[in-house]
Chains A and B, each alone.
Chain A
Amino acid sequence: MNVTITINGEQRVADVAGFESLLNVLRDDLDLPGTKDACEQGECGSCTVILDGEAVCSCLVMAADAEGSDVTTVEGLSSDGDLHPVQEAMLAAGAVQCGFCTPGIVVAGSHLLETNPHPSELEIREALSGNICRCTGYGAILRAFETLSEEGT
């Protein structure tokens, strides 16, 4: 079936099977591989996208259910080499190692700052607790978001 979704401001149409997740359609059909597939159970947050204003695990969203919705992926957060403040802060803090969790954290973190520009340490931890990072131990990621919180970006 054809599904029409606005992705990163652009209307896209994909021919999806009933069993396909939004994650699979983004990665395999719409050439947006920045959204990562690491558990397919909604446990790790690597596939986080913004769906109609909410941060969701795209592996838990059926593609067909996304008909008519508005989706932002990591590819939509930067343009023409201009990084999103979250991306810049992650780089400055050394919060990127293997980077597989990074797109999900960038998306979830950008959503956090939109809804709460000055999160406390505990609010940052809670907001990102659905995003597993196996490399950094979270310290550098926390420092990146604490800097952003102080700046009120």
Chain B
Amino acid sequence: MTAQTRTHVTGGIGTSVRRPDGVPKVTGNFAYASDLHSKDMLWGATLRSPYAHARLVTIDIGPALAMPGVHAVLTQDDVSGLPLFGQEEQDQPVFCDGTARYWGEPVAVVAADDEETAKRAVAAIVTEWEPLSPLDDAEEAAALGSTFREMKIRRGDEAASGAVVVEGIYETASQDQAPLGTEAGFAVPDGTGGLDLYVTSQWIHVDHRQIIACLAMEPDQVRCHPAGIGGAFGSREDISLHIHVAMLALATGRPVKMEYDRSESFVGHVKRHPSKMWYRHEADAEGNLVKVTARLLLDGGAYAHTSRAVLANAAFFTVGPYRCDNVVVDAQVVKTNNPPCGAMRGFGTVQACFGYESQMDRLAETLGVDPLELRRRNALGQGDVLATSGQTIEGLLPTIEVIDALESIPMPEPLASDDPRLLPGGTGLTTPSSKVVRGVGYAVGLKNVAFSEGFDDYAEARVVLTPAGVEVHTAAMEVGQGLVTVCQQIARTVLGIERVAVVWDDTSHIGSAGSTSASRQTQMTGGAVHAASVGLRDLILEDHGGDDLRDDGVYRTGERVATIEEVCANGPVEHLVQFRHPETYPPDENGQGDVHAGFVVAAHRAVVDVDPELGLVRVVRVDTAQDVGKALNPQAITGQLEGGIMQGVGLAIMEELVVDHGVIRNPTFTDYLIPTFLDAPAVVTRILEAPDSWGPFGAKGIGESPTISSTPAVVAAIRAATGRALTRVPVHPEDIVGI
């Protein structure tokens, strides 16, 4: 029996059902990791390096330990297991190992009766440092061979050339995910030498693997629990305070809570890699791409984290959603004393997209061709090969269709008001409407879904039927995106039963769901929930000779043959699935091969009003058309599209982590600017459905695409308004004014 889309179940796929955690979230009753506490708990706090690069000559924890109310002070000497952690490469010491390699690197942690005492104890630790010269320049690091990964892509004829050539150098700044919930964790000893951990995370099983190695404990001694998350956007894919809070709890035998404040959060998680990209596009006279040559340089900061995979994404998407037979890419991610970088929404493709879309606009201008027409002419689609890796696009990839859909969205009305709230700069500045110039820009972005390059990527889910309804058990982290709702909808639709609850299990009760990243959970955990639901339904129907399952039981030719209670007479009935996407492979020495499991394409149009004299920008509208495969929850999709666009707008004109000799100069919400309600453009969306061959009901992962091409679209619009080249994001007022 093949499960079919149910029509009689309420709250199935394709409907904008409300999220089950909505009521607790609007009433303040949702428990985030930072809300967890117990009466006997201690507070943890962290001593951090004041230098980006320095030798720790001496450290004296004595004065801190001697303070009343202080229960433990721990350093690298107290790490009982592997002294290093890291998701891909274990290269970062749990605490400073004698040399600090980035500003804010943890040196020691303290547990004390209260937060204030813990902070004072941190200040009481006496350290002597020998400052060293920080390696803070990516090109210098590249010249020194200080790299995490180097990639070479060679496809086609290196000697090929085109009649029309455009070249450019592009830079993107580091961006902070800035989720509103900072890093927080609660560690509770279990009285038998083990502990339970509740830490903000995007992937508790990969945390668990690293934590038990550093603690030298058996897997079942440490249980990582999914905790309430206040946003993530990549910042929680790597370890932050997990091992520290666990060590403090084990050392004191007491529950310990840690919570970073905003400034500490800025140093306490990985960033988006800053990049520099050299591009040369060659085309024939009609604008067909003949050859793309590029060098990409990403700064990974002090430790590896996910830099290798970020570089791969940047390199494989160097050309974007366009056909090109001859490609030369050299890509490096370097190791410096700058803040460590890792995952952020778009994961390497954001940087590349700013480069290739800027180049496509230059090419269009040089050829005198409409920028969208140039993109259509080169658009990658089903049956074509990815320009870089040579991988054939097996599934539907509606690049031309998203461009067409985007173009069909009516343009906004011209600026018709002198209301300063509608002018660049807003009420605080002095732009008269007569000085405002409007610009329109476009960009198209391509992204892979899930993990690539041969990684064994899977998600486990268990679907259980009980007399009270269906339970979906998973360890997939809900970070706000709405996976919880989608899992319910999928299970309801397959099983025909409305009562579905998602139950988050800890690492001892269920296998890995993989990371909540790479736009992967709707397809991966959604795929697992779908497959487990199909398996459970088939099992129940077979056991009871039924042909239909409903809220109140099993049916055969319209007659009920068993109630749900009867189905569960011997206990809950369940089915467990480990879901894998189609196999991928590592690239060969020329970067060739079937490295990706699936692709998503989106297009953006930005309309901006600019005051060229003051260099002020108001983003009026950002419109988008995106392929989602199958819209499982249209309202949640709109939320992802609008939210992702805002982070792309942020990178285009506001968000920049200012790093000076390795030191972050703006680690506060006062100085790191995030778009507010007054900065937010209107958004018009067009959702296309070109089903994928794997995953639930053809749905594709959609979380990252909204961010990827919105940044270059906004910059293209500012270029159109000002005529400036604007080769670096974020665009600052002085770039527009030309000073």
B29 within 8 A of A: yes
What CA separation (Å) do A129 and B19 show in the bound complex? 25
Contacts of B31 in A (CB 8 A): 33
Do A137 and B644 have beta carbons less than 8 Å apart? yes
Interface residues as binary, B25-40 with A (CB distance below 8 Å gives 1, 0 otherwise): 1111111101101000
Name B674's contact: one of A83, A125, A130, A134 (CB within 8 Å). Answer: A134
A17 within 8 A of B: yes
Do B182 and A38 have beta carbons less than 8 Å apart? yes
What CA separation (Å) do A83 and B262 show in the bound complex? 31
Name B180's contact: one of A90, A100, A138, A141 (CB within 8 Å). Answer: A100
Contacts of A94 in B (CB 8 A): 16, 18-19, 635-636, 638-639
- Shortest CB-to-CB span from A81 to chain B, Å, is 8
Q: Interface residue count for A (Cβ, 8 Å)?
A: 56
Contacts of B646 in A (CB 8 A): 136-138
Q: Interface residue count for B (Cβ, 8 Å)?
A: 61
B116 within 8 A of A: yes
Do A135 and B643 have beta carbons less than 8 Å apart? yes
Known A83-B23, A87-B26, A97-B643: A40·B262 in contact at CB below 8 Å: yes
Do B645 and A132 have beta carbons less than 8 Å apart? no
Do B27 and A34 have beta carbons less than 8 Å apart? yes
Do A140 and B642 have beta carbons less than 8 Å apart? yes
B454 within 8 A of A: no
Do A98 and B179 have beta carbons less than 8 Å apart? yes
B364 within 8 A of A: no
**Which parts of B402-460 form the interface with A (CB within 8 Å)?**
419, 421-422
B316 within 8 A of A: no
- Shortest CB-to-CB span from A21 to chain B, Å, is 12
Please give me the residue from chain B that is nearest to A133 by CB atom: B180
What CA separation (Å) do A103 and B178 show in the bound complex? 18
> Which interface residue of A36, A43, A136, A139 has the most chain B CB atoms within 10 A?
A139
Do A91 and B26 have beta carbons less than 8 Å apart? yes
> Which interface residue of B18, B21, B30, B683 has the most chain A CB atoms within 10 A?
B30
Interface residues as binary, A82-98 with B (CB distance below 8 Å gives 1, 0 otherwise): 01000100111010111
A41 within 8 A of B: yes
What CA separation (Å) do A40 and B178 show in the bound complex? 14
What CA separation (Å) do A133 and B646 show in the bound complex? 10
Do B27 and A83 have beta carbons less than 8 Å apart? yes
- Shortest CB-to-CB span from B180 to chain A, Å, is 4
Do A98 and B669 have beta carbons less than 8 Å apart? no
**Which parts of A9-54 form the interface with B (CB within 8 Å)?**
17, 19, 27-28, 32-41, 43-44, 46
- Shortest CB-to-CB span from B650 to chain A, Å, is 9
**Which parts of A41-88 form the interface with B (CB within 8 Å)?**
41, 43-44, 46, 73-75, 77-78, 83, 87
Do B639 and A100 have beta carbons less than 8 Å apart? no
Interface residues as binary, A134-151 with B (CB distance below 8 Å gives 1, 0 otherwise): 111111111000000000
Name A91's contact: one of B22, B481, B482 (CB within 8 Å). Answer: B22
What CA separation (Å) do A135 and B233 show in the bound complex? 9
What CA separation (Å) do A38 and B233 show in the bound complex? 16
Do B674 and A102 have beta carbons less than 8 Å apart? no
B479 within 8 A of A: yes
- Shortest CB-to-CB span from A136 to chain B, Å, is 5
- Shortest CB-to-CB span from B184 to chain A, Å, is 10
Do B669 and A132 have beta carbons less than 8 Å apart? yes
**Which parts of B151-196 form the interface with A (CB within 8 Å)?**
177-182
Do A98 and B638 have beta carbons less than 8 Å apart? no
Do B668 and A100 have beta carbons less than 8 Å apart? no
A99 within 8 A of B: yes
Pull 30 A–B residue pairs with CB atoms less than 8 Å apart, ordered by A: A17-B116, A27-B35, A33-B28, A33-B35, A34-B27, A39-B262, A40-B261, A44-B669, A90-B26, A92-B18, A97-B480, A98-B179, A98-B180, A98-B230, A99-B22, A99-B26, A100-B179, A100-B480, A129-B678, A130-B676, A132-B669, A132-B674, A135-B231, A135-B639, A136-B646, A137-B641, A138-B642, A138-B677, A138-B680, A139-B682
Query: 5 smallest A-B Cβ distances: which pairs?
Result: A34-B28, A98-B480, A99-B25, A100-B230, A137-B642
**Which A residues form the contact surface with B (CB < 8 A)?**
17, 19, 27-28, 32-41, 43-44, 46, 73-75, 77-78, 83, 87, 90-92, 94, 96-103, 106, 122, 124-126, 128-142
Q: A38-B262, A106-B26, A134-B643 are in contact. List 12 more A-B contacts (CB 8 A).
A: A90-B26, A91-B22, A92-B18, A98-B179, A126-B421, A126-B677, A132-B674, A134-B233, A134-B674, A135-B643, A139-B639, A140-B638
